[in-house]
Amino acid sequence: MYHISFFLNCCCLFFLVIPHSKFSTIAATAVDIIDQTCKKCTDEFDVISYKVCATSLQAVPVSHVTNLQGLALIAMELALQNATNTLSTIEKFSSNKSFDPFALVCLKDCLQLYSDAITTLRDAVGAFLREDYDTANIWVSAVMEAPTTCEEGFKEKEGEVSPLKNENYNLFQLCDIALCISHMLKYLGSTFLTGCSAT
């Protein structure tokens, strides 16, 4: 279960309440935007799982009454939480003597990758809040290299099983979801939101 910070809730409500020149807001009584957004992302990006998208966003109460900006921010915050939790998991694994030397080397590499990813995600959130979506997208895209590289490291040895398979998958998914929603903001804007409300 993900736990969203008070700061993020405030940011999402800011996007909802404060009028924006390009985007409509979604009232509490409007059709749930999460389903529409996740379906759209799944249609446009084959690697995105509808189940991961929907269940992750639905776990955050404010996501049901926010708009696309709020959903993108939630996805980035979920990715940041995933990366932070995974970093703690890696640290615990690194002191576990049951792992062979090769796995420990891989974990060390993953530790650095996730440490960098956390810093980059924080920068991405900052850029997004400044409405510098292009910069935010570049940094979120860069973060996606962390789980991919981490996972591939274990595959270099035949028969080696990654203990971080689920964590790597979830981080990649959450980043891709954030990118998809940001893409909608840039190219669809209020048209998508209006369509959701009218459905």
Domain carrying residue 113? 75-196
Residue 91, in any domain of the structure: yes
Mean pLDDT by groups of 10 residues along the chain of 199 residues? 46 43 37 85 93 94 86 96 98 94 97 98 96 94 98 96 97 97 76 43
CATH of residue 187 = 1.20.140.40
Residue 51: per-residue pLDDT: 96
DSSP letters, 20-34, are -SS-----TTSPPHH
Given a contact cutoff of 8 angstroms between Cβ atoms, the answer to whether 114 and 146 are in contact is yes
What are the angstrom distances between the C-alpha of 130 and each of 8, 141, 155?
A: 14, 18, 39
Q: What is the pLDDT of residues 34-76, one digit of tens each?
A: 999 999 999 989 899 999 999 999 999 888 788 889 999 999 9
- Structure confidence at residue 34 (pLDDT): 92
The answer to whether residue 166 is domain-embedded is yes
Q: Name the domain count of the chain.
A: 1
* DSSP assigned state of 95: T
Cα radius of gyration rounded to whole Å, the chain: 18
pLDDT value of residue 2: 45
In a domain, 37, yes or no: no
What is the C-alpha separation between 68 and 17, in angstroms, rounded? Answer: 13
Task: Please count the residues of the chain.
Answer: 199
Amino acid 62: pLDDT: 86
- Assigned domain for 135 exists: yes
Flag whether 126 is in a domain: yes
| 11 domain-assigned | no
In a domain, 33, yes or no: no
Structural domain contains residue 183? yes
**Spatial distance between the Cα atoms of 140 and 121, rounded to a whole number of angstroms:** 6
Instruction: Give me the amino acid identity at 108.
Output: K
